[in-house]
Structure 1
Amino acid sequence: MFRRREAVPFAFVAEADRFRSNVTPPPRERPSGSQLAGRTLIGLTIVCGLAGSLLLGRPALESGQAPGHSQQSEASDGR
């Protein structure tokens, strides 16, 4: 690889870390009403989608036993 021949003085690097600009950035624009409404609708859509997936997915996560039925083998029923 190509190496730099001149060394960078340490004072220059340290000075670059302390440099502060005296130029202030322009103020941020406030979002309009339609932008706020759109962001709110997108957030609600995501939250409702997550909640709906939890509600619809719960039956698939259950063990599959019907309530009130105990698990018995067929051999013990035949006596």
Structure 2
Amino acid sequence: MVMGSENLILRIDGLQSEEDRMDVKRALEDVAGVKWVCVDGEAGTAVVIFDPERTPQDNLINVVMEMGYAVKRFFSG
């Protein structure tokens, strides 16, 4: 893990297409402190590596929820 980074895995319900997957990826990448994002549309998950001193986990979850998706914290560490 990169120093000053945390991993967050989100479960995202409602990803229907490649376009949905890319929209979520871009939205998360635009959040300050986000270093890396991978969204798996088939699994309905997003892995985010971010700097918790710049962005709390709740900000990342809220970005996706504001797009209209149901989101749950799957794992963080």
What is the TM-score with the length of structure 1 in the denominator?
A: 0.22
Between Structure 1 and Structure 2, which shows a larger proportion of strand residues? 2
Pick 1 or 2: higher relative contact order, CA cutoff 8 A, min separation 6: 2
Structure with higher Rg: it is 1
What is the TM-score with the length of structure 2 in the denominator?
A: 0.23
Between Structure 1 and Structure 2, which shows a larger proportion of helix residues? 1
